[in-house]
Amino acid sequence: MITSTAQETIPPKHQDLPLDALAARVGDELETLARLSADVQKAISECEFSEHTRAEAIRGMQGIDRITQSLEDLGRLMAAVSGEMPEGVKLHAVPILSRLRLHELITNLNPSQDRIVLSHEEADGEIEWF
Q: Look at residue 41 and tell me whether its pLDDT is greater than 50.
A: yes
Long-range pairs for 31-40: beta carbons < 8 A, 24 or more residues apart: 31/71, 31/72, 31/75, 31/76, 32/108, 33/71, 33/75, 34/68, 34/69, 34/71, 34/72, 34/75, 37/64, 37/67, 37/68, 37/71, 38/68, 40/64
Residue 64, phi then psi, degrees to nearest 5: -60, -35
Instruction: Tell me what pLDDT residue 130 has.
Output: 55
Q: Which has the higher per-residue pLDDT, 68 or 124?
A: 68
Q: Look at residue 104 and tell me whether its pLDDT is greater than 90.
A: yes
In a domain, 33, yes or no: yes
Helices assigned H by DSSP within the chain: 19-45, 55-84, 93-97, 103-109, 120-123
In a domain, 26, yes or no: yes
In a domain, 73, yes or no: yes
Amino acid at 59: R
In a domain, 19, yes or no: yes
In a domain, 80, yes or no: yes
Q: Look at residue 42 and tell me whether its pLDDT is greater than 80.
A: yes
In a domain, 109, yes or no: yes
In a domain, 128, yes or no: no
In a domain, 105, yes or no: yes
Q: Look at residue 79 and tell me whether its pLDDT is greater than 90.
A: yes
For the chain, what is the domain count?
1
Instruction: Tell me what pLDDT residue 53 has.
Output: 83
**Domain of residue 62, residue span:** 15-117
